[in-house]
Amino acid sequence: MILVTVSVCTMLYALTATIINVALPQLQGALSATPEQIAWVVTLNVIATAVITPMTGWLVSRLGERPLLLWAIIGFAVSTFLCATATSLETLLLYRVAQGAFGAPIVPLSQSILLVNFTGKDRPMAQGFFGMTVVIGPAVGPALGGYFAEAHDWRWVFYSIVPLCLLAFILVISFIRPVAREKSAKLDWTGFLALSFAIICLQLLVDRGERLDWFSSREILLYGCGAALGLYLFIVHTATSDAPFLNPQLFKDRNFSVGLGLVFVYGMLNFTPITLLPPMLHNLKGYPDSLIGLLLAMRGLGMVVGFFTAGRLGWMDPRLTFFIGMVLNGISGLMMASFNVNVPPETIALAGVIQGMGSGLMWVPLVVMTFATLNEKFMPEGSSIFHLLRNFGTSIFISLSFMVVVRTARINYAELAENISPYKESLRYPGVSGAWNLDTVEGLSRIGDEVGRQAQMIGYDNAFVMYAIVCFASLPLLLLVRVKRPEKDNGR
């Protein structure tokens, strides 16, 4: 029941991370926002999660696992309800920040409880079950989000999460036992604030860089300097402090250090497709929200298969299982990079299933490799850093992907428009031009819309090419992972 409880708690956050994506186009219209502005609904939530996640170890020492989990679920439920009542983009963003902050401790704390209660050969089995139940959220989230957004409106996307919060609260009260805590634990506020400042500045730099023409803008220069200064202060303070915010002993474990790099990549790959596909399918294909939700749910179906397979392959070298999963992600990226405006739904669903299988295959060996040699006393702090980098990878790569879409779409629009001319003979044939009549205002408008649609499609394709490149370029990191666990615990 501990395994079921932590799985439901984590599914709660995973559901929230995916259910809103399918409603982004409707949110954009309801709140009169641009595509770049509505992306903040996702990215600000992830930033808040990334900032608060490293505090999990300190919060556990101050409050205890059970009280922290209960308060996190309560705050998460209240902020989710408030998201449904938002009347403007600004208030929705504020409530999404609160939702991310309260949800931040849920996943690392659940992971830590799982790692402590399941050791040895039981750990892959537990991780497989944990992963399989967790993907129920991403699997049903898009479908539920699409249904509620189309049948009612986007507010019901948030309302539907509140009952699950109540279930998680009841399970934690019933099955998570109180444990002793260190009341004297202190938070290194200098390290925490320096790291948070660096994360926020870097995220704002990536989010706003394209709109403000990058470093020709003073605002972007300030963000860049702020990120560099925050990171410098954090590194120097960590190296010289007696009790730093992040314990340097963690990074002496090679598997853990390499695992942090791999989980950063995993975060980049995991949620990016389901963030890019809804606006693409809605704006370029005109799909209804319910169909978009079903197509995104195919990824969840693939993840269920991937997690089940990974659990059955516990005897296999985890590096090989992770390699197969990463290759499947790369293949799905290449498939999505070949999409055009006439791509059939079956092809989109197949790419989603392959991507989901790859992500499912990657998670269990990733956790096993990362924590195989880490001392148990470092589990809460190690788990918080692990999920911090996963969330940070997600937020950074989503912003980079939207930047690629917007920038390359603008460039390709200019290039494609050069081929539209009264002297273009092919546009004079009715069988070729159709409604694209250069002699009327309506015809010019239609051909302009089509050029814009094709340019945006190229922009999305370029973002998926970048996705595939990241998949294949990160494979050499697996060569640094040690497979054998040391016979004696050396404190690392």
Nearest in space to 379 (alpha carbons), one of 249, 216, 286, 192: 249
Select the more confidently predicted residue: 226 or 376: 226
Say if residue 369's pLDDT is above 50. yes
Say if residue 438's pLDDT is above 50. yes
Select the more confidently predicted residue: 224 or 420: 224
Instruction: Calculate the average pLDDT of the chain.
Output: 80
Secondary structure in 3-state letters for the chain: CHHHHHHHHHHHHHHHHHHCHHHHHHHHHHCCCCHHHHCHHHHHHHHHHHHHHHHHHHHHHHHCHHHHHHHHHHHHHHHHHHHHCCCCHHHHHHHHHHHHHHHCCHHHHHHHHHHHHCCCCHHHHHHHHHHHHHCHHHHHHHHHHHHHHHHCCCHHHHHCCHHHHHHHHHHHHHHCCCCCCCCCCCCCHHHHHHHHHHHHHHHHHHHHCCCCCHHHCHHHHHHHHHHHHHHHHHHHHHHHCCCCCCCHHHHHCHHHHHHHHHHHHHHHHHCHHHHHHHHHHHHHHCCCHHHHHHHHHHHHHHHHHHHHHHHHCCCCCHHHHHHHHHHHHHHHHHHHHCCCCCCCHHHHHHHHHHHHHHHHHHHHHHHHHHHCCCCHHHHHHHHHHHHHHHHHHHHHHHHHHHHHHHHHHHHHHHHHHCCCCCCCHHHHCHHHHCCCCCCCHHHHHHHHHHHHHHHHHHHHHHHHHHHHHHHHHCHHHHHHCCCCCCCCCCCC
Say if residue 490's pLDDT is above 50. no
pLDDT digits (tens, 9 = 90+) for 166-198: 998 998 888 877 766 555 567 778 888 888 888
**CATH architecture of the domain with residue range 2-187+245-410+453-480:** Up-down Bundle (1.20)
Whole-model pTM above 0.85? no
In this structure, of 89-98, 200-209, 217-226, 341-350, the range with the lowest mean pLDDT score is 200-209
Residues 360-371, mean pLDDT to the nearest whole number: 84
pLDDT digits (tens, 9 = 90+) for 228-244: 999 999 889 888 887 78
Say if residue 370's pLDDT is above 80. yes
Select the more confidently predicted residue: 127 or 479: 479
| Domain boundaries of the chain, sorted by first residue | 2-187+245-410+453-480, 188-244
Residues 298-314, mean pLDDT to the nearest whole number: 79
Say if residue 349's pLDDT is above 70. yes
Residues 126-150, mean pLDDT to the nearest whole number: 67
- Band the pLDDT of 478: cuts 50, 70, 90: confident
- Residue 406: the pLDDT is 86
- Residue 440: the pLDDT is 67
